[in-house]
């Protein structure tokens, strides 16, 4: 017990002392940990310890994942509120792409203290997706992209306190020892600071026989550039709240109680068995995969390639399966894991693309296709996904099968086409560079869907070797999920911090005149105690108008928020303390209200007609027109657009009621779900909910009409695909729509006057265009005849051993003549007596030679080289 240290550290808990836990320093990693065992000298964390449960399970009996979830929730529900799991795509946040842990559900609105937690304390099982260890999935035996994080959390502050370190550790120990049946002597608690999502705190990692089964975080720090506490390169300061954030690995607890070779076998062994059987892969000796898992646990920081030799030693000749057999089992593990992530992403209607979460979805799909091909699996990806859905009952009650099947079919087709083109693409790169680097592999993967293994196979056929980075996919994921710096539209005006402006536009969106007092001013900026001017936000532009002091008017040219203050930029300067009167431009305000309410109407209509996969991906309201971007993976025809317009008109004529009200965050989510966050993520204590009766409900801070009848009518001006899976609808409503229709009518009248016909205008225009096409064809034929005549009359010379044709033409005419001559006599060149510096020919290298020769013999200067390439010849339809 010479490594025992009793008197230091942040976890001198009564629980540890009363239950004979001792604080020790690990002889391997030098970190501190708590244990009951007097003989233990290591912390339990690999590689300090190897797995001691494979083939020798811990606990009082094997528990399935469903049983672990049920036992955990039941144990904590006695004094915790159960919270249903959130989606895996955190649309209530704009700083992360996927939910990586249960605490993601509550950052930053709850952890900052702005919003109360949905339960306090609470218990839940949150499905999560992590992609940072993608290359180790199926390889290490323990890494997953999809997992459930069990948690019991407590949010404490000066007004409300539940439990902190003592209560957390005792509850953790109670669940593991009393419910799961793990002996206390097999549990170790390793001290390790935690940080993430702008918060940090002390933490205990919980290990059972070398496997981490949970982490207990005591979050009491917030990221602060001037903070006195440093953790992993960032500085922090104390925050008002003390938050218990726990995370237990559901799959790992199940694994440690089953003692199976890998976490995949314990989590969905029947799915793995199905995949291998349908792939013609024998199941014998799959237990040997446990020995491979042990090797990876012995040194998890080593890259897979460095462990490969040691793994090969395990798969000896006297075993009944070969290394190829191991690879097939690994691919089955990958397929089973990815099917779960794909299932969860489809429930949130993610559409594959080359950006953000869509890219991650495509990455999982293509890795799954690769695994299916490697295994020669005699089944479908959907077949595996359905099996996983059955395994996750209670978490996954249903999923959009038709939507997902369409996604799979479309992505599979793209994947196969990319492989068909892949060979030539790789060959071209090798011809140009002779080798491949990471940037080449990244481009091949991102742009063409070519996985490194496929590229390696092609290179072997070319007699070249490719060194594939063992963390290739992890590096790709990092590049696509790196934190983007948000560039603020305006510099923060710190002198206005602390001021608060009452928003009169929420009291009455039709208010256009008001009186106020200048709370503060700086140059041409003023902050008032109240205002009817709407500040830029939520895709809605600011109001314009003016302030008046006496007889003098000050135009308002910009309005924006700075904290709780509304800042007005004016032409001129008004002193602090002045009482002023404000006048909002009513015409502009009304049109923006029409377009904002129309945006909600259009979004609800699109979702109804196109399906639940429609999510707002951006919006911008304007006066003359507005636009909304939506996620959608289908086609939008002219017929669909007309149907959308008629559906909108029906809701307008019904004059559906529009209501706006502030609601508690949690109540709003419970009532309306996460569709509330269509228009963005407000960081405030309340959500302003705007509802069009029976059409759309979402959180929104904009100004709106009181009924859809005030819109008048809505006209879609243009629909375009702005990126994969994203369509942009540009539209006009109200007076703007009328102005658009009037402009179309004016253009039609002009066309009628131009064609000067009493018959149908469309027919007349069609006839005119047909006539124009016929005349152009005749001109083309005539030009060819003229060029043929010029060619026949051209003078032929032999210059520098090369045929040359001399013509009296300007440069443009010369280039036209060059095409037929280059085709009929590719070894010849054309020289112009009018353009003595211009030589035209087909072969660039020969051109340079003849230019030098001619410049010495006949003309001064080096000459201008104009090669006639095959692409130009093809574009002229002169060659096939």
Residues in binding site for Zn(2+): 596, 600, 700, 704
Cα–Cα distance measured from residue 753 to residue 761, given in angstroms and rounded to the nearest whole number: 10
Q: Which of 441, 439, 437 is nearest to 449 (CA)?
A: 441
Q: In this structure, which long-range contacts are made by residues 735-740, counting pairs with CB atoms below 8 Å and at least 24 apart in sequence? A: 735/591, 735/594, 736/591, 736/594, 736/595, 736/623, 736/624, 736/625, 737/712, 737/713, 738/712, 739/624, 740/625, 740/715
How far is residue 91's CA from residue 678's CA, in Å, rounded to a whole number?
8
Torsion angle of alpha carbons 475, 478, 479, 480, nearest 10°?
Answer: 130
Across the strands, what pairs with 873?
A: none
In sequence order, what E strands does 776-878 have? 795-799, 802-807, 828-832, 838-841, 864-867
Q: Using an 8 Å Cβ cutoff, are 565 and 500 in contact?
A: yes
**DSSP character for 29?**
T
Query: Which helix (H) or strand (E) covers residue 855, if one does?
Result: helix 844-857
* Under 8 Å between Cβ of 457 and 425: no
Omega prior to 658 cis, within 30 of 0? no
Which of helix, strand or coil describes residue 200? strand
SS3 labels along 503-556: EHHHHCCCCCEEEEEEEEEECCEEEECEECCCCCECCECCCCEEEEECCEEEEE
User: In angstroms, rounded to a whole number, what is the distance separating the alpha carbons of residues 306 and 310?
Assistant: 8
Binding residue numbers: 596, 600, 700, 704
Residue 859's contacts (CB-CB under 8 Å, 6 or more residues apart) are 836, 837
Q: Give the integer Cα–Cα distance in Å for 353 and 841.
A: 44
CB count in 10 Å sphere of residue 78: 7
For the four alpha carbons of 663, 664, 668 and 670, in that order, the dihedral sign comes to: negative
- 454, two tokens: 């496929």
What's the rounded Cα separation, in Å, for the pair 730 and 738?
Answer: 15
Check residue 369 and report its DSSP letter.
H
Contact status, residue 16 vs residue 7, Cβ threshold 8 Å: no
| CB 410, CB 633: distance < 8 Å | yes
């Amino acid at each position: 017990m010479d490594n025992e240290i009793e008197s230091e550290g942040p976890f001198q808990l009564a629980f540890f002392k009363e239950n004979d836990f001792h604080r020790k320093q690990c002889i391997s990693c030098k970190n501190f940990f708590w244990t009951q065992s007097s003989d233990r000298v290591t912390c339990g964390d690999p590689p300090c310890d190897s797995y001691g449960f494979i083939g020798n399970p811990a606990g009082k009996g094997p528990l399935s994942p469903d049983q672990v979830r049920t036992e955990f929730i039941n144990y904590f529900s006695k004094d915790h509120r159960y919270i249903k799991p959130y989606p895996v795509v955190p649309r209530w946040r704009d700083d992360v792409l996927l939910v990586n842990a249960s605490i993601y559900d509550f950052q930053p609105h709850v952890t900052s203290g702005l919003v109360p937690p949905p339960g306090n304390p609470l218990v839940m099982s949150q499905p999560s997706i992590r992609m940072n260890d993608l290359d180790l999935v199926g390889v290490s035996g323990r890494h997953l992209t999809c997992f459930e994080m069990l948690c019991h959390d407590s949010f404490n502050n000066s007004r409300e306190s539940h439990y902190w370190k003592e209560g957390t550790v005792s509850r953790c120990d109670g669940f593991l020892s009393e419910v799961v049946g793990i002996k206390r002597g097999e549990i170790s608690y390793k001290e390790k600071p935690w940080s993430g999502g702008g918060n940090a705190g002390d933490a205990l990692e919980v290990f059972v026989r070398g496997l981490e089964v949970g982490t207990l975080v005591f979050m009491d720090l917030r990221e602060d550039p001037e903070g006195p506490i440093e953790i992993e390169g960032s500085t922090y300061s104390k925050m008002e709240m003390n938050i218990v954030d726990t995370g237990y690995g559901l799959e790992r607890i199940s694994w440690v109680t089953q003692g199976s070779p890998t976490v995949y076998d314990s989590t969905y062994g029947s799915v793995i068995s199905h995949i291998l059987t349908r792939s013609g892969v024998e199941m014998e000796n799959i237990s040997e995969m446990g020995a491979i898992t042990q090797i990876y646990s012995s040194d998890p920081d080593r890259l897979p390639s460095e462990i490969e030799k040691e793994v090969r030693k395990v798969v000896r000749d006297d075993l009944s399966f070969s290394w190829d057999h191991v690879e097939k089992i690994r691919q089955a593990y990958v397929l089973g894991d990815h099917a779960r992530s794909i299932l969860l992403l489809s429930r949130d209607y993610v559409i594959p693309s080359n950006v953000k979460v869509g890219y991650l979805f495509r990455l999982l799909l293509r890795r799954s296709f690769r695994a299916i091909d490697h295994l020669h699996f005699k089944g479908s990806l959907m077949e595996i996904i359905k099996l996983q859905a059955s395994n996750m009952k209670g978490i996954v009650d249903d999923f959009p099968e038709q939507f997902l099947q369409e996604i799979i079919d479309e992505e599979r087709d793209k994947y196969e086409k990319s492989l068909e083109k892949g060979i030539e693409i790789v060959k071209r790169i090798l011809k140009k560079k002779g080798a491949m680097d990471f940037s080449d592999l990244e481009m091949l993967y991102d742009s063409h869907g070519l996985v490194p293994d496929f590229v390696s196979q092609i290179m072997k056929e070319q007699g070249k070797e490719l060194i594939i980075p063992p963390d290739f996919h992890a590096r790709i994921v990092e590049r696509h999920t790196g934190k983007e710096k948000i560039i603020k539209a305006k510099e923060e005006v710190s002198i206005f911090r602390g001021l608060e402006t009452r928003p009169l536009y929420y009291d009455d969106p039709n208010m256009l005149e008001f009186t106020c007092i200048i709370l503060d001013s700086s140059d041409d900026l003023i902050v008032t105690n109240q205002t009817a001017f709407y500040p830029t936000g939520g895709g809605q532009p600011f109001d314009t108008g003016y302030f008046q002091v006496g007889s003098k008017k000050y135009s308002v040219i910009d309005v924006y928020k700075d904290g709780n203050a509304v800042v007005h930029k004016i032409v001129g300067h008004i002193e602090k303390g002045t009482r002023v009167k404000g006048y909002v431009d009513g015409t502009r305000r009304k049109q923006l209200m029409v377009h904002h309410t129309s945006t909600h109407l259009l979004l609800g209509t699109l979702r109804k007609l196109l399906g639940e996969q429609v999510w707002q991906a951006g919006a911008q309201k304007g006066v003359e027109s507005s636009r909304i971007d939506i996620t959608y993976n289908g086609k939008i025809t002219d017929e669909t657009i007309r149907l959308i317009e008629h559906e909108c008109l029906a809701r307008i004529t019904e004059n559906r009621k529009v209501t706006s009200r502030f609601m508690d965050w949690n109540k709003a989510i419970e009532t309306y779900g996460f569709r509330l966050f269509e228009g963005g993520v407000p960081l405030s204590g309340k959500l302003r909910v705007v509802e069009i009766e029976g059409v759309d409900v979402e959180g929104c801070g904009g100004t709106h009409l009181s009924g859809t009848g005030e819109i008048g009518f809505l006209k879609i001006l243009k629909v375009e695909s702005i990126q994969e899976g994203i369509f942009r609808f540009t539209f006009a409503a109200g007076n703007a729509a009328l102005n658009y229709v009037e402009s179309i009518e004016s253009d039609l009248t002009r066309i009628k006057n131009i064609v000067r016909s009493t018959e149908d205008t469309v027919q007349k225009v069609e006839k005119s265009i047909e006539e124009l096409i016929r005349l152009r064809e005749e001109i083309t034929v005539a030009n060819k005849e003229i060029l043929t005549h010029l060619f026949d009359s051209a003078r032929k010379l032999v210059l520098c051993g090369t045929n040359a044709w001399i013509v009296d033409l300007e440069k443009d005419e010369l280039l036209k003549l060059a095409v037929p001559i280059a085709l009929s006599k590719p070894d010849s060149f054309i020289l112009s007596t009018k353009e003595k510096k211009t030589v035209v020919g087909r072969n660039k290298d020969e051109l340079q030679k003849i230019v030098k020769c001619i410049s010495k013999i006949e003309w001064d200067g080096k000459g201008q080289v104009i090669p006639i390439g095959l692409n130009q010849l093809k574009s002229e339809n002169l060659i096939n």
